[in-house]
Amino acid sequence: LEMFTGKRPTYELFGGDLTLKSYTKSALPERVLDIADKSILHTGLRVGFPVSECLTLLLEMGLRCCEESPANRLGTSEATKELISIRERFFKARRTYRH
């Protein structure tokens, strides 16, 4: 979540009931571009990639990785498979947009 939002859990915005996790969860999917790190947006928009779709998938996966209960968290092998799937969609989408 930190990598894609550009915010740390200790960011001054967070406190009380507002955490990085709740901040991210409340923004998905409609406001994903509002919470995204601006450098990601500039890079993604420059190459013509569907940034909001990709970020939504990545952040949803990130939320599943930080579930309160370890039993409910996405395992590392499952997370790896999802990341590979997202990467494959990215490159496929990128080739499609360039043609």
Per-residue model confidence (pLDDT) at position 46: 62
As a whole number of Å, the end-to-end CA separation of the chain is: 32
**pLDDT at residue 41 in the model:** 80
Give, as one character, the DSSP assignment of residue 15. Answer: B
CA atoms within 13 A on the CB side of 22: 7
In this prediction, residue 76 has a pLDDT band, given cuts at 50, 70 and 90, of very high
pLDDT top residue among 18 and 89: 18
Phi-psi domain of 6 (left: phi exceeds 0; alpha: psi -120 through 50; beta: other): left
Which residue is listed with tokens 């790190």?
37
Position 7 scores a pLDDT of 94
pLDDT, one tens digit per residue, over 6-60 is 999 998 889 889 999 999 999 999 999 999 998 888 776 666 668 889 899 999 9
